[in-house]
Every structure is written in structure tokens, then in C-alpha cells.
Amino acid sequence: MTMTKLHVGHIQDIDKKGSRTFQLGETEIALFHLSDGSIHAVENSCPHKKGRLSEGMVCGTAIHCPLHDWKIDLRSGKVQEPDEGCVHTYNTEVDPDSGAIYITF
């Protein structure tokens, strides 16, 4: 299986606890810059009512959906109990010299 590595932005362009979105084919993806400095990428659509996760609030390693406050782990994509579901996640890499962000898919 061949993996594709795609440059999607720069870490300095995303505030800590902030997000940015980009389009990958038919899928909108949200990048999140967590307070620990890590970058996470997930499908930008809550599995419940398709709320745009990029408009939610980051809390630790989770994003709260702006529509109904579903809490989704940005590392695994799993919705936290008592709710159920999952969003697709993407592996990210940040170049330590340039700050360039890459996803692989």
C-alpha cells in the first residue's frame, strides 16, 4: 500500500487551540494545533449531525462539536461516551526546521 505525503500548511499559521481547514478531494479536513504543540488532522464532520468540528472548542486532546457538544478524541477519532461514533483521522508530521505540516493518507 502506497502512502501519500501532502504538505497542508505551516504550524505558525495555526494558533494554539486553533484550527484550519483544507479540502482533500471530496473531504474537508480540519487541522488542530493543541496546547502541547502537537498537530492533529481529522475529517471536519461530526458523525452525529455533521457539525463542522473546526468550529468547536479544543479541550486537551479533544474537540467539542459546536452543534451538540459531542466530545471527540483528536488522536483516535473516537467519540467519547455516552455518545458513539468515530471520525477519520490522518497521520501528521511537522518539519522541525521549517514548521511545514504534512499529512499522510
pLDDT at 2: 79
Domains, the chain, with CATH or none: 5-104 (2.102.10.10)
CA nearest to 87, candidates 53, 61, 58: 53
Full-model pTM: 0.93
Taking only the tens of pLDDT, the chain with its 105 residues reads 778 999 999 999 999 999 999 999 999 999 999 999 999 999 999 999 999 999 999 999 999 999 999 999 999 999 999 999 999 999 999 999 999 999 998
